[in-house]
């Protein structure tokens, strides 16, 4: 079956919906979004744990986050619904002086990009911010109060509904086997983990405890910078997370998460685990997004675990590139032709 439209976007997740909305808002017509699933968010979007941060270790992603944050703050006025953005912060923790020096150097770059509110914290300050911490090796950390949490489903549905109001069409149960089956002036790849090379789907696990009141909902995302073990509170449940690399089996992963928790936040082990799930990161070789044109197809994919948080910015910037031929911030580091 041939697919025909002026603009065809493959992928009805949060990035595809954002691209569709931003193109329609710029005046583009005859936009069709296709997806192999039967409804929105059947891929990675709704598996996301909902973190948002601008504390990255490179200028491009800091600036992407600052643009995304600006759009999240205006989301309800622009889109008509709450994005779930709550600035409860991200707290990165160091267990030795080398990790602490790395956080300091990274923060100097973040300040230069405009993230001036990010600051270093002492071990005692870190424990005040995240009272579950009981890590004797703690050397200090970095905290940004405007980082925090978002709701993937709300952002996806908000962009999808706003796009529909502007005339965008969504067609489900439509699998794209090859772009040669598409007749369109503009073709856009936004299928995330299912985009194909150089994007590689990488499985990530999460567990959630029972609802508890021993940890406040306003506790920042608490991340150990050395190995990325982290936890957060969502809807009263504590989410325990660790991006294993290289991948190990589920039982071994859970044992490692329990070990980290026992060593660093042991009171959390008193909470029974109620649910577990997994989803896919869409990883590129350098762990940065693909944004731009490659072999006649525009890409907005490969966000490498940052797709939901950067979706507002990626949709905005790709629409600029398609309509204006340039972007308002430098995203040359995301050129898909680098691979």
Segment 210-266, tens digit of pLDDT: 999 999 999 999 999 999 999 999 999 999 999 987 788 999 999 999 999 999 999
CATH topology of domain 3-79+150-198+285-338: FAD/NAD(P)-binding domain (3.50.50)
* CB-based contacts of 110, cutoff 8 Å, min separation 6: 54, 55, 56, 62, 118, 144
Exposure string of 276-312, with b = 16+ CB inside 10 Å and e = fewer, is eeebbbbbbeeebbbbbbeeebbbbbbbbbbbbbbbb
Segment 263-291, tens digit of pLDDT: 999 999 999 999 999 999 999 999 999 99
pLDDT attached to residue 321 = 99
pLDDT attached to residue 193 = 95
**CA gap 157, 161 in Å, rounded:** 6
Question: Tokens standing for 293?
Answer: 């044109």
Residue 41 pLDDT level (bands cut at 50, 70, 90): confident
Segment 62-112, tens digit of pLDDT: 999 999 999 999 999 999 999 999 999 999 999 999 999 999 999 999 999
90-145+200-280: same fold as 3-79+150-198+285-338?
no
pLDDT attached to residue 272 = 97
pLDDT attached to residue 244 = 87
Furthest-apart CA pair in the chain: how many Å? 62
Q: How high is the mean pLDDT of the chain?
A: 97
CATH topology of domain 90-145+200-280: D-Amino Acid Oxidase; Chain A, domain 2 (3.30.9)
Segment 24-38, tens digit of pLDDT: 999 999 999 999 999
Segment 121-180, tens digit of pLDDT: 999 999 999 999 999 999 999 999 999 999 999 999 999 999 999 999 999 999 999 999
Question: Tokens standing for 277?
Answer: 């799930």
DSSP code for 304:
T
* CB-based contacts of 283, cutoff 8 Å, min separation 6: 199, 200, 201, 202, 302, 304, 305
Q: Give residue limits of the domains in the chain.
A: 3-79+150-198+285-338, 90-145+200-280
Segment 9-22, tens digit of pLDDT: 999 999 999 999 99
Contact by Cβ (8 Å): 10, 37: no
In sequence order, the β-bridge partners of residue 3 are 182
Task: Name the burial class of residue 324, with classes exposed (0-12), middle (13-18) and buried (19+) by CB atoms within 10 angstroms of its CB.
Answer: exposed
pLDDT attached to residue 247 = 83
Comparing C-alpha atoms, which of 152, 162, 139 is closest to residue 45? 152
pLDDT attached to residue 245 = 78
């Amino acid at each position: 079956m041939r697919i025909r439209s002026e603009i065809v976007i493959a992928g009805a997740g949060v990035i595809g919906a954002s691209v569709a909305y931003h193109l329609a808002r710029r005046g583009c017509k005859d936009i069709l979004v296709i997806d192999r699933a039967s409804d929105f968010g059947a891929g990675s979007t709704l598996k996301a744990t909902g973190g948002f941060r601008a504390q990255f270790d490179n200028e491009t992603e800091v600036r992407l986050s600052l643009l995304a944050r600006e759009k999240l703050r205006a989301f309800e006025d622009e889109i008509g619904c709450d994005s779930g953005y709550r600035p409860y912060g991200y707290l990165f923790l160091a267990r030795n002086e080398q990790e602490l020096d790395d956080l300091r150097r990274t923060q100097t770059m973040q300040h230069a990009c405009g993230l001036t509110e990010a600051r270093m914290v002492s071990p005692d300050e870190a424990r005040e911010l995240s009272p579950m911490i009981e890590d004797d090796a703690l050397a200090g950390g970095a905290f940004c109060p405007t980082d925090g949490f978002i709701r993937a489903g709300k952002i996806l549905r908000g962009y999808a509904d706003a796009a529909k109001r502007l005339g965008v069409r969504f067609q489900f149960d439509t699998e794209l086997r090859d772009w040669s089956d598409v007749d369109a002036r503009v073709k856009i790849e936004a299928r995330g983990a299912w985009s194909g090379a150089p994007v590689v789907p990488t499985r990530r696990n999460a567990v959630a405890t029972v609802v508890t009141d021993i940890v406040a909902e306003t506790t920042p995302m608490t991340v150990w910078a050395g190995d990325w073990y982290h936890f957060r509170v969502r809807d009263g449940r504590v989410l325990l997370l660790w991006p294993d690399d290289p991948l190990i089996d589920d039982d071994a992963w859970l044992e490692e998460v329990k070990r980290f928790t026992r060593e660093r936040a042991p009171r959390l082990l008193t909470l029974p685990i109620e649910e577990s799930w997994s989803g896919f990161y869409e990883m590129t070789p350098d762990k940065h997004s693909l944004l731009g044109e490659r072999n006649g197809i525009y890409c907005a994919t490969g966000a490498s675990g940052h797709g939901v948080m950067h979706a507002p910015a990626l949709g905005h910037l790709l629409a600029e590139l398609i309509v204006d031929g340039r972007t308002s911030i430098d995203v040359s580091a995301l050129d898909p032709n680098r691979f």
